Each structure stands twice: as structure tokens, then as C-alpha cells.
Amino acid sequence: MKFAVIVFPGSNCDVDMYHAIADELGEEVEYVWHDEENLDRFDAILLPGGFSYGDYLRSGAIARFSKVMAAVKQAAEAGKPVLGVCNGFQILLEAGLLPGAMRRNQGLKFICRPVQLVVENNETMFTSAYGKDEVITIPIAHGEGNYYCDEQTLNRLVENRQIVFRYHGENPNGSLADIAGIVNERGNVLGMMPHPERAVDALLGSADGLKLFRSIVNYWRETHVVTA
């Protein structure tokens, strides 16, 4: 399986994402600059965290106009796994690939520490390696992680089981309904504020994030079985 890590000006978690795939997962991965227009050679697309374009205007508001985003949308439409973490989640929201918007943290401060999440839906291509209602520890690092959507959208997210992760025990940023991560209706685009790529080895304090990447690989292998 071949992963693309999209690199925008200001990305700073691209190396973490690359390490998670290459060194911990053992799969092929490549950095892809933001002006790339074709992602057909990749099986999964990863949008890392950071401060794309300095977070000017709004987080992700400029990155959504990068040339590569048309190819990201094509990959999503083709059913390929697309994962956006932190700033990557913000970009997916700005690009309309996921519903809702991101606001400043409720306390108006940047937060950087491990948090607990509960796996709300373990029947997606991103979460099949987890147990239902499993509580995991994943770090956060953001100033604008306060997810918001209108009531109609929230009801749709709940009905379609699109809320994949919720904050457990404590809501660090004021996110609506404790939402930490959501998928699109098709289930192949995941946006989440916590950083699974920073929780892939016990030496980092948690290896709980590795299951997310293993889930992607497991899904790809199950759907790409070659028969003689």
C-alpha cells in the first residue's frame, strides 16, 4: 500500500506522519508537495497537522485552494482513504469534504497534551482494529479545535454514525458534543484533531494511534485481494 503525505507551506507534522507509516507501519510512503495535481499513484492520502500558510485568514482557509486539493477531492470521490489530522482536519472542513467548522478553543489558549478518546464507531476503514467504546490515549496540539456545526448537521452525523471519536472524561476545547473526529457519509474521509501519528510507539507515551493506520491497511488488503 502506498501513502501520500501532503506537504503545505507551514506543515510541521508531515515528518511525524511519514515516520508512522514508514517506520512503524512498514508501508510505502512519499511526501507530496502542495502543487501536485495527480495523486492516482497513491492508495491513501494523509493531510498532516501544522500551520498551513501561517493559518492566515482561518486555519486551512488558504490551503484549501492549493492545486493538490482538486486531486485530494478526486481521491475521496474514488473511495480512497483520506485522513486529515489537526490542520489537515481544518483543511478538509474548509474544502467542504467534511461538514462543520472549527472555532478557537473555548479557553482561547493553545493546548498540547495527551487526552483520552472513546471510539464511537469501530466499523469504519479507519477504526476496525479498535473495540467498540474502546478508550484510547492520543495527544492534541491545537489552538482552533472547537468543532461546531448546526443542529441539523449534528443530527445527521449522529444518525449516520459519522462521529468516530469523542473526547472522554474531559472536553479540552469546547467541541460540540465532545466531537474529536468525524467521517463523511461514505466513510472514507476522516478528520480528527488529536494526532494518532504521535501515538505509534510506547516510547511516545502511547501506541494507540497505530491501530488507526493498521485499520487503513487492513481495509485496503481486504478490498484489493488478487485472485489467480
Active site residues: 86, 195, 197
**Alpha-carbon gap, residue 74 to 39, rounded angstroms:** 8
User: Among residues 225, 194, 226, 185, which one has the least CA distance to residue 212?
Assistant: 194
In the block, residue with C-alpha cell 462521529: 163
8 Å CB contact between 5 and 14? yes
The bridge status of strand 82-85 relative to strand 44-47 is parallel
- The three-class DSSP label of residue 226 is coil
**Alpha-carbon gap, residue 25 to 189, rounded angstroms:** 20
Cell readout for 34 is 502542495
Cα Rg for the chain, rounded, in angstroms?
A: 16
**Alpha-carbon gap, residue 7 to 84, rounded angstroms:** 12
